[in-house]
Amino acid sequence: DGTVCELYDMMFTLKTKLQQRQSDGFFGAQTGVLLQQFPDRQAAVLREDMCNFYQSSLTYLEQRYDFSDSNYQKKVASLALKSPFNFSHLCEAVEVLQLSKKLDMDALYDEYCVILPHQQAIVQSGAPVVEKWATLLKHTHTPNMTALASFLLSVPITNASVERVFSLMTGCWTDTRNRCSSNFTFSCKDFYTYVVKEKVLLNAVRSNKKYKFKKKPEGKKTSYVRPHLSKMKFD
């Protein structure tokens, strides 16, 4: 349910929390109680291992996510409506999303002035980002602002849904599910050897006898109806 304008703050907050936990040596209240039950030397070794875990996590984050100022997600973070944005934030978003040729910037400024008085109330609503934008643009004629918000909120922040499809297909596309295990017992090599000897079958496959053609007036394409397999006749 997240949006691209929220992603930078989410990742930066995660990084900050890990850094603070590492700095304070905090591993959770229950873990702290358990550590007191170990001898000092063993407890020190465990603390060092957990600090190394924090460091590994931070290293992984910095390798996989761009925390620099050049990250476009940081440039559109102001449009998450956690606080009022100004027109320069809109211009920056238009630039990084490469929408400058598709939007009328003069009209966009006029539209910004229309929604400006309503920003503070929307920010304080505590609703999800998509609902905030829907409320902000409701009952207003703001085509450029609407186009910008629609584009921004349609940018996916993860490929998890695509990966999920791959997982589902792996579970569905099996020999049992596609009936190959029950209807087809040949190996590819055996099937080829069998088919090349069946001249009648090969001729039938190449021919047009499996189609029923219907002639049309001159100038129109010829169409055909593909019969059911059980109705095919092979000479």
Structure tokens at 120: 């503070």
Distance between CA atoms of residues 127 and 135, nearest Å: 10
Q: What angle do CA 147, 144, 70 make, to 5 degrees?
A: 70
The pLDDT of residue 65: 94
- Confidence band for 147, pLDDT divided at 50, 70 and 90: very high
Over the stretch 121-140, which tens digit does the pLDDT of each residue have? 999 988 999 999 999 999 99
First to last CA, the chain: 61
pLDDT at residue 184 tops 70: no
pLDDT at residue 189 tops 60: yes
Average pLDDT of the chain, as a whole number:
85
Cα torsion angle, 111, 117, 119, 122, sign: negative
217 or 136: whose pLDDT is higher?
136
